Structure 1
Amino acid sequence: MADTTTPVPAQRRKFLDGAWIASIAVLVVLAVLDIAQLWPTITFAANALLHTAPFIAFAVCAVAYLKATGAENLLAKAFEGNPARMIVMAALLGGLSPFCSCEVIPFIAALLAVGAPLGAVMAFWLASPLMDPAMFAITTGAISFEFALAKTIAAVALGMFGGFGTLMLSGTPVFTNPLREKPSVGGCCGVKQPFSSQPIWRFWTERNRLDIFRSTALDNAIFLLKWLTLAYVIEAVMVHYMPADLIASVLGDGGIGTVILGALVGMPAYLNGYAAAPLVAELMDQGMAAGAAMSFMLAGGVSCIPAAIAVWALVKPRVFAAYLSFALAGSVIAGMAWQILS
């Protein structure tokens, strides 16, 4: 007899995970310590979600379409040609396309197994967690279109910075024999040749692709909703309790020290690009310099747990340290550039 009980716990886990629990915990603590602020916090978060709803809807549909069509298969083209071209293409596709970690890790493992240049892989690793269509939409709604566009350009530039840096240092001890062990081709999705098929743009003609569209849309809607709810609840608390002059005095002068501090704080404190956007928007409203905001989001995006684990799992610690070093240096440079331009 088929087991019909398995999907129920799986669905519950989608709703009762860390982000939802954290949001509830913040509200419970608020109810205990300052009950008068509970309802204003809830309404603030609800109104913020309503304001962001059109961007969430666009992000959900865009990512679902790209997944259903198999547009991710275009990533493989980034690793064809001479090394310099590979680095540029890997940075562009990493910074502009969505990806599934279940597929990207075996995809990168397969590339490394067959000898793909580490510079191109580094470019992809650095750019890919920083921007995608969903994050662009959320960042536009929470901060501004200009900031989202600048972050996209910075993501691609950071990928190229790390990629060409790796290429130039490829003969040094840091990048000699970089892999923990030679990875096998394949992965947890059972994909023998990741990203090897051609995209099907008219995906609605195939039932299985329609199913992918629906499941991806639902998963991304839940993902965005839970993280943005947490972000807006924290933002409401910040608005009420965090003095604006403190933020302005620590992160508001726009100098190189402020930008470096933004990157150093962002690396260990980052949630993810979706939750960070509204929080950074509030910090900017309270006086955080534009350059510090940019370096915070870039450095934190590269060092967030999902992105870092993908690198740590495949390469030796010295290469992982180089990955973080490129991220830190590149985010500071991008932060200073944005501070000057803004």
Structure 2
Amino acid sequence: MTDVSLPRAGFRAALGQIWRGQRVWLASCLILLALAVFDPGQAWESAGFAGDALMRTAPYLVLSIAIAAWAGATGADNLIARAFTGAPILMIGLAALAGGISPFCSCGVIPLIAALLAMGVPLSAVMAFWLASPIMDPSMFVLTAGVLDLEFAVAKTVTAIGLGVFGGAVVHVLARGGALSDPLREGVGNGGCGGARVRAPKPVVWRFWTEAERRTKFGKTAASTTVFLAKWLTLAFLLESLMLAWVPAETVTALLGGTGVMPILTATLVGVPAYLNGYAALPLVGGLIDQGMAPGAGMAFLVAGGVTSIPAAMAVWALARPQVFAIYILLSLSGAFAAGLLFQIWVSI
């Protein structure tokens, strides 16, 4: 009798891999399919809205993709490793700056953090990098300037660095008192591609096009970044079209409008469960601001959601002990609230 369990298991594994790789595209297709069945007019409106929005942001997408591919091909991300040497206070500042401008991909940040902690780099500097990194990077800056505006992009960058410095300073004070001496969970090592950059940073090759391997890496990074941004922004623009069509502007204004503290506090708390993705959140926040959301609330939503998003929070939980995770979340929420409040004061002046 033939054993068909192995082929079936392989088929299920293949289907699972396809679903994991294409679920964002599938979600967009399912939204349009559901609209076509129940509200055909809105289906055409949403598809047209998403297409127009992608065309408007295309120049910023191209620049964003080029920056990401250039950073990977030249090895510019190796420069980040140099931020973790020196006196503790200097390390905190440099680590926050590195986090705010780092082009690390999500697969590189997690092993990098593990390597830094396992090699004895102070948690204060690591926390500064950890808090700043999810908020901003060069590609995010370009897209934020294009989707929202340059003032918002600059303020978000300053917020990333400021939150990193604030979090690093708090952890430094706690560590001096004897707390947080062993931040890593049991069994977490110092391996990974990100860790190798710290242990043995490689020189940056600015003229990357002279080497076939680096040209290939540029192409692969550009292709993967294009697919990543296209699928998330398509979904985001579809959701934005539905939000504009179905969510009354007065509701948004009542919850998140105005210049008081409550809209910013609400946006900070809502940002934790409602955040989709750093790139996908930008057009959603832009739509909300157009409907009356306070700019400070938009900043709080982006910062809180970025740092406490499921991938970022899961990475912290997987690597660090519960008390470090709790400090990370508290610093994230308090920093996001403060950033929203300060930005609202700034735009009101």
TM score, norm. by length of structure 1: 0.93
Q: What does residue range 150-299 of structure 1 map to in structure 2 within 5 Å? A: 150-171=155-176, 175-181=180-186, 183-187=188-192, 191=196, 196-299=201-304
TM-superposition CA deviations, 1:25-68 (whole Å, max 9, x none)? 21122122211211111111100000000000000001100110
Distance in 1 separating the partners of 2:310 and 2:204? 30
Supply the distance in 1 between the matched residues of 2:94 and 2:188 (Cα, whole angstroms): 23
In structure 1, the residue matched to 2:73 is: 68
The one-character-per-residue Cα deviations of 1:53-97 (angstroms, maximum 9, x if unpaired) are 000000000110011000111111110000000000000010112
**Residue 332 of structure 2 is aligned to residue 318 of structure 1:** no
Q: How many residues align?
A: 333
- Gapped runs of 5+ residues in structure 2? 1-13
Match of 1:38 among 43, 67, 85: 43
Partner of 2:3: none
Report if the CA contact (8 A) 1:185-1:192 is conserved. Answer: no
Q: Which residue of 1 aligns with 2:10?
A: none
For 2:106 and 2:315, the matched residues in 1 are separated by 8
Counterpart CA distance in 2 for 1:37 and 1:229 is 16
Cα distance change of structure 1 residues 178 and 139 upon mapping to structure 2, 3 Å threshold: same
CA distance in 2, matches of 1:122, 1:239: 38
Letter in 1 for 2:243: M
Alpha-carbon distance change, 15 to 214 in structure 1, aligned in 2, over 3 angstroms: farther
145, 150, 153: which one aligns with 2:150: 145
| 1:188-215 superposed Cα distances (whole Å, 9 cap, x missing partner) | 6894855611111111111111111000
- How far did 1:14 drift? 9.3
Counterpart CA distance in 2 for 1:254 and 1:205 is: 54
Other structure's SS at 1:229 match: helix
SS at match of 2:64: helix
Offset at residue 108 of structure 1 (A): 1.8
Task: Say if 1:59 and 1:194 are closer, same or farther in 2 by CA, change over 3 A.
Answer: farther
The superposition leaves residues 255-313 of structure 1 with CA deviations (integer Å, 9 ceiling, x where unpaired) of 11111111100011111110000000000000000111000000000011222222112
Tell me which moved more, 278-287 or 188-197.
188-197
Structure 1: unaligned runs, 5 residues or longer? 1-8
- Give RMSD over aligned pairs: 2.0
SS of the residue 2:192 aligns to = coil
Alpha-carbon distance in 2 for matches of 1:299, 1:72: 25
On the 8 A contact 2:114/2:195 being kept in 1, the answer is no
Kindly tell me: are residues 17 and 29 of structure 1, through their superposed partners in 2, closer, same or farther at Cα, counting changes over 3 Å? same
Give, in angstroms, the shift of residue 104 of structure 1.
Answer: 2.3
Residues 75, 195 of structure 1: 8 Å contact kept: no
Matches within 5 A, 1:129-140: 129-140=134-145
* Aligned equivalent of 1:93: 98
Alpha-carbon distance between aligned partners in 2 of 1:201 and 1:246, rounded to the nearest angstrom: 51
Report the structure, 1 or 2, having the larger helix content: 2
1:119-163 superposed Cα distances (whole Å, 9 cap, x missing partner): 000000000010111111111111111101110110110111111
The 3-state SS of whatever aligns with 1:238 is helix
- Matching residue's letter, 2:274: A
Q: Would the aligned equivalents of 1:113 and 1:182 in 2 still touch at CA under 8 Å?
A: no
Query: Given the alignment, which residue of 48, 56, 62 partners 1:51?
Result: 56
In structure 2, what is the Cα distance between the partners aligned to 1:13 and 1:102? 19
> Between the two proteins, what is the percent identity of the paired residues?
50
Supply the distance in 2 between the matched residues of 1:181 and 1:154 (Cα, whole angstroms). Answer: 33
Task: Please identify, of 22-31 and 185-194, the stretch whose mean Cα deviation from structure 2 is larger.
Answer: 185-194
Cα distance in structure 1, aligned partners of 2:96 and 2:19: 32
Asked whether the equivalents of residues 73 and 195 of structure 1 are also in contact (C-alpha less than 8 Å), the reply is no
Q: Distance in 1 between matches of 2:32 and 2:328?
A: 37
Cα deviations across residues 210-240 of structure 1 (Å, max 9, x unaligned)?
Answer: 1110000000000000000000001111111
What is the TM-score of this pair, normalised by structure 2?
0.91
